[in-house]
Amino acid sequence: MQKRTLGNSGLEVSAIGLGCMGMSFGYGPAGEKSEMIKVLHAAVEQGITFFDTAEVYGPFTNEELVGETLTPFKGKVVIATKFGFNIDRTNRTYAGVNSRPENIKLVAEESLKRLKIEVIDLFYQHRVDPNVPIEDVAGTVKDLIKEGKVKHFGLSEAGANTIRKAHAVQPVTALQSEYSLWTRQHEKEIIPTIEELGIGFVAYSPLGKGYLTGKMDVNTKFAEGDIRNKLPRFTQEALKANQTLIELINQFAERRNATPAQIALAWVLAQKPWIVPIPGTTKLHRLTENNGAASITLTSDELQEIETASAQIQIEGTRYNEQMEKSTGL
């Protein structure tokens, strides 16, 4: 597995990371623990050194799983986690954002314990809190870095002005936001901003929450509790309308003797050398398939062909509804 460096920070990670959320949260019932441990161990064996979790995934259960499983690899892997939600610690439920300094400090202490580590490699603000100045958030993380509890500061789904303000107080190592062949709104302003500032980009849902694998159609049903049941892009109408993009990806998959998922990930990798996709999976064979994308290099002609063709495709449905856009931890 090749390595990439996130921006100017010097934080080196595998070119493809592993999003761990779906093992515990978001896509229906949590995976069987023993099976998830196998997937995490296989990821390390296949060269993945970058693992993404958050306190809100569960809540707490995903950090507990990652912490327990990756303890034997301490010092050899990079674990990113996140703060920024109001969590009821008794009922393990969450509602609304909370990036008050006292909450950030509390989350850091608790995450260190659950992850069984002495320092958090990358600590993201999960969602921007409109009630707390970003300068205060960045200042709090700066203090945690000085105390040796955090190594790097990250933001998730933040706007360009917020990124600039935060970066002026404490250099931002990485921005994590959704990015794929069907979610490209960050190309207009966000990606140029972080390129200017020397900030890395971590792409979550690089496979469009599974859609870009080509395994879904109008008859696809999701389990109870699966977030996709509520998303505009996963209605029957949208699933049908967006098959045009899948057909495009399939053309290149056949041409390169690859799978649609590998082409979709190879496209993300080709955009910038400091972009790291973190596809999630609960299946060993999908893990291996996804990691195979690191060995696929799309040519400039292929990239231009994809660009020209995809520009003619109108994506049906927004990625989240308005309420979820503001509050989701996904």
Residue pair 123/88 in contact (Cβ under 8 Å)? The answer is no
In this model, does residue 283 exceed pLDDT 80?
yes
pLDDT score at 92 = 85
Write out the two tokens for 17: 């990371």
**Widest CA span in the chain:** 55
Q: Where are the domains of the chain?
A: 3-210+271-296
Per-residue pLDDT reduced to its tens digit, 85-95:
999 988 888 88
* Gap between the Cα atoms of 69 and 114, Å rounded: 11
Give me the mean pLDDT over the 20-43 stretch: 95
Per-residue pLDDT reduced to its tens digit, 162-214:
999 999 999 999 999 999 999 999 999 999 999 999 999 999 999 999 999 99
Among residues of the chain, what percentage have pLDDT more than 90? 91
Q: What is the mean pLDDT of the chain?
A: 95
pLDDT score at 327 = 56
Say whether the peptide bond before residue 133 is cis (omega within 30 degrees of 0): no
Q: Which residue among the candidates 27, 57, 94, 179 is catalytic per the annotation? A: 57
Burial class (CB in 10 A: 0-12, 13-18, 19+), 251: middle
> What is the dotted CATH code of the domain comprising 3-210+271-296?
3.20.20.100
Residues 187-212 as b/e (b if ≥16 CB within 10 A, e otherwise) read eeebbebbeebebbbbbbbbbbbbbb
SS3 218: coil
pLDDT band at 149; cut points 50, 70, 90: very high
Among residues of the chain, what percentage have pLDDT more than 70? 97
Whether residue 124 lies in the annotated active site: no
